[in-house]
Amino acid sequence: MSDYSATLDTLKGLVPEELLNPRVGIICGSGLSGLPASLKQSVLVSYDQLPGFVQSTVPGHKSSLAFGLMGSGAGVPVVAMLGRFHPYEGHKLSSVVYPVRVMAKLGVKDIIITNAAGALNPELVVGTIVVVHDHIALPNLTGMNPLLGPQTDLSLPRFLPLSNTYSRLLRKLVFQAAHDLSIERDALAEGTYAWVSGPTYETPAEGRFLRAAGADVVGMSTVPEVLAAREEGMNVLVLSLVTNAVVIPSGYKSVRDEFEAEIAGTLTNPGVDDVVSHEEVLSLGRLKGDLMKSLVEKVLEFIPSDA
Ligand SMILES: O=P(O)(O)O[C@@H]1C[C@H](O)[C@@H](CO)O1
């Protein structure tokens, strides 16, 4: 059984009391660790100081929690993970969601989870921020669910409904925030996130499979955190930054056709296999980090204190 009290006691020794009851939790996705850059009264606690925390090992993820006040005016008390944990790093699912459970014990009511994701929906342009309204989690459907195991906390539900996972109120606030900030309409979309384990990116056929199943974007994180947050009773908002396209709209190009065109001397447009890289993912995070930051800050202004 996890010893949250050791983590909480350590935090009490490192973070001033007035910052220790954050209302909102934030998880920064790949390349998005600058989200809380303008925190007021910011206090950083590195994960290696915290019992129960593992380390983020992925480039673009820092291993620290940031406490502080975010947004305009007095600001909203938040705690932000500047780097997250992924199962593909070798972390157990219970470790991946441990910080979310700590956030719940600190009193977090609303959690804003961000990630970098590949577009499956060909209408989604790279750079779009997708407000996630649903998910498909093949790992969950095949027995890799962070809520599996003996029920150690009887106050939490054993059978968690997922039909209302993504808070309608918080999703609407994103569009209100975008409207207030005069962000162009096409910069935002709504969609379904498919969780895969990674660390491999999808083959084109896997991309088509996930698209056919109804997913708009795909990524290697988020869903475990969402499940733990919902189990803990938090309101959940997920924002996915589209960093690359997974399904190439033109689909598969036959190499036989290409060969035959080549020998007939009619080949004009030889096929190329697009590949995605983590560097590309991070560079999009840098490009769109400020937009994501202003959006999140504006949403914070609107979240009712009793939501
Ligand atoms: O932590 P997130 O989901 O933002 O990171 C994505 C998924 C992989 O960790 C990585 C692949 O580039 O980016």
Query: Is 307 inside any structural domain?
Result: no
Residue 78 forms part of a structural domain: yes
Reported confidence tier of residue 2, pLDDT bands at 50, 70, 90:
low
Indicate yes or no: pTM above 0.90: yes
Q: Is pLDDT of 92 > 80?
A: yes
Q: Please tell me whether residue 179 adopts helix, strand or coil conformation.
A: helix
pLDDT(171) > 90: yes
Q: How far apart are CA 129 and CA 190, in angstroms?
A: 8
Is the distance from CB of 36 to CB of 67 less than 8 angstroms? no
Residue 35: DSSP 8-state: T
- Asked if the model's pLDDT at residue 154 lies above 50, the reply is yes
Q: Is residue 154 part of a domain?
A: yes
> Ligand 1 atom closest to Cα of 29?
4
Look-up of token digits 């020794």: 13
pLDDT per residue as tens digits for the range 22-38: 999 999 998 888 887 88
pLDDT in the model for residue 235: 97
**111-130 residue pLDDT tens:** 999 999 999 999 999 999 99
Report how far residue 256's alpha carbon sits from residue 253's, in angstroms, rounded to the nearest whole number: 9
Strand partners, 241: 116, 129
Query: Ligand 1 in contact with 271 (CB < 6 A)?
Result: no
Decide: residue 133, CB within 10 A, 0-12 exposed, 13-18 middle, 19+ buried. Answer: middle
Q: Is 83 in the pocket of ligand 1 (CB under 6 A)?
A: no
Q: Is 84 annotated as a binding residue?
A: yes
Supply the range of the domain harboring residue 16: 5-302
Q: How many domains does the chain have?
A: 1
Q: Which atom of ligand 1 is nearest to the CA of 86?
A: 9
Compute the distance from residue 61 Cα to the ligand 1 centre, in Å.
9
Average pLDDT, the chain: 93
Active site residues per annotation: 30, 61, 86, 88-89, 116, 220-221, 244, 278
CATH number at residue 39: 3.40.50.1580
Tens digits of residue pLDDT in 206-230: 999 999 999 999 999 999 999 999 9
Residue 247, domain member (yes or no): yes
Residue 179 has pLDDT above 90, yes or no: yes
Cα distance from N-terminal residue to C-terminal residue, the chain? 30
Cα 96 to averaged position of ligand 1 atoms, centre (Å): 14
User: Residue 251: pLDDT band by 50, 70, 90 thresholds?
Assistant: low
Mean pLDDT of the region 40-54: 95
